[in-house]
Amino acid sequence: MGGSRIPTSPDGNAGHAFLWENGRMTDLNTVTPRLRGDVVLESAQGINSNGWIVGFTCTAFCEPGKTAPTHAFLLIPN
């Protein structure tokens, strides 16, 4: 879990939040339904025993079109 740069990540940007599980890396932006178009989940910071993930949206040097203010996020799997 953490952040991983992608080809469109600007300098100084952590990239996209991801989860590493069972030898597979999953971009959390691709598995989060109803994520607003101007938001990118940039880094995952922690996960608890229920699978709840906390992290931050883009903090600085966001990729083009990702203009939402920085916020913490909580993802709860269903």
Report the alpha-carbon distance of residue 16 to residue 7 in Å, rounded: 11
Report how many domains make up the chain. Answer: 1
Angle at alpha carbon of residue 56, lines to 55 and 61, rounded to 5°: 145
- This prediction has a pTM of 0.83
Residue 7 domain boundaries: 2-75
pLDDT at 14 over 70: no
Cα dihedral 16→20→23→26 (10° resolution): -40
Q: What SS3 string covers 1-31?
A: CEEECCCCCCCCCCCEEEEEECCEEEEHHHC
Residue-wise pLDDT tens digits, 18-62: 999 999 999 999 999 999 999 999 999 999 999 999 999 987 778
* Cα–Cα dist 72/55, whole Å: 6
Please give the structure tokens belonging to residue 31.
């598995």
